[in-house]
Amino acid sequence: MSILNYIKERWLHLLFLFLAFFFSFLVYRLDNSFSIRESNAAYILMGWGILFFIYLMIDGFILHARVSRFGLFCRTNGSSEEAEAFFYPTDRTHAELVRELTAEYERYKADIETKSAEEMEFITKWLHDAKVPIAAARLILESQEDKLPDDFYRNISAEIFSIEESILQVFYEMKTNRFFDDYRFVLH
């Protein structure tokens, strides 16, 4: 996490700490009856500065660890047990939301795959069923070739051929879209 992102994330904490330091400094400077030596005030201010720097380092480290852990949780599609492992309630709430969204996505994806498989099965069955009457029409046409005018026979034969080609094209298109089911590539 960058320093700029850290400041954006923790701006309210940092503003509060800055205002607390500023208030203490004003009390020291404006109250003449406040008896503290300037050297002691410098030590106190330096001590606060060191503590503030330590706070920033620890808080930045913790925030970075939280963001990294949450990112890993999101990338691994976390389960509810993993969501309970988060220490901070906000992280746990966000993890639960991610888990619910992931589960909803998986249900949606499974539903789409089921519907797609059903549609593919219907289309495949329909294509196979359509081939039977086309083959029968071709056989009938060929058996009546002597009795039919040549132009009529050629036109009907060309149309039957066109229908057969269209069906084959649909078969090939379906096959190429499902190429991954037929072949597995192994890289060594």
Q: pTM of the entire structure?
A: 0.51
- Final residue in a domain of this structure, among 19, 48, 76: 76
pLDDT tens per residue across span 19-60 = 888 887 777 777 777 677 778 778 877 888 888 888 888 888
Instruction: Let me know whether 71 and 11 are in one domain.
Output: yes
Whole-number Å distance between alpha carbons of 132 and 138: 10
Whether the CB-CB separation of 18 and 77 falls below 8 Å is answered with: no
In angstroms, how far is CA 100 from the centroid of its own chain? Answer: 13
In this structure, is residue 174 part of a structural domain? yes
36: left (phi > 0), else alpha (psi -120 to 50), else beta?
beta
What burial letters (b/e) apply to 11-43, b meaning 16+ CB within 10 Å?
Answer: eeebeebeeeeeeeeeeeeeeeeeeeeeeeeee
In this structure, is residue 16 part of a structural domain? yes
Whole-number Å distance between alpha carbons of 186 and 184: 6
Residue 56 one-letter amino acid: L
In this structure, is residue 170 part of a structural domain? yes
**What pLDDT does residue 177 have?**
67
pLDDT tens per residue across span 122-167 = 988 988 888 899 999 999 999 988 998 999 999 999 999 999 999 8
The radius of gyration of the chain from alpha carbons, rounded to an integer in Å, stands at 38
156: domain range?
A: 116-182
How many structural domains are present in the chain?
A: 2
Whether the CB-CB separation of 125 and 167 falls below 8 Å is answered with: no
Instruction: Let me know whether 70 and 124 are in one domain.
Output: no
In this structure, is residue 46 part of a structural domain? yes
What average pLDDT does the structure give for the chain? 82
- Final residue in a domain of this structure, among 76, 93, 124: 76
- Overall average pLDDT of the 68-74 stretch: 81
Q: Could you give the angle at which helices 3-30 and 38-75 cross, rounded to 10 degrees?
A: 160
Cα dihedral: 15, 16, 20, 25 (round 10): 10
- Alpha-helix runs per DSSP H in the chain: 3-30, 38-75, 80-84, 89-143, 150-177, 179-182
In this structure, is residue 29 part of a structural domain? yes
- List C-alpha distances in Å: 66 to 12, 41, 96, 101, 107: 19, 37, 15, 20, 28
Residue 172 one-letter amino acid: Y
In this structure, is residue 135 part of a structural domain? yes
In this structure, is residue 21 part of a structural domain? yes
In this structure, is residue 97 part of a structural domain? no
- Final residue in a domain of this structure, among 48, 76, 104: 76
Instruction: Let me know whether 59 and 123 are in one domain.
Output: no
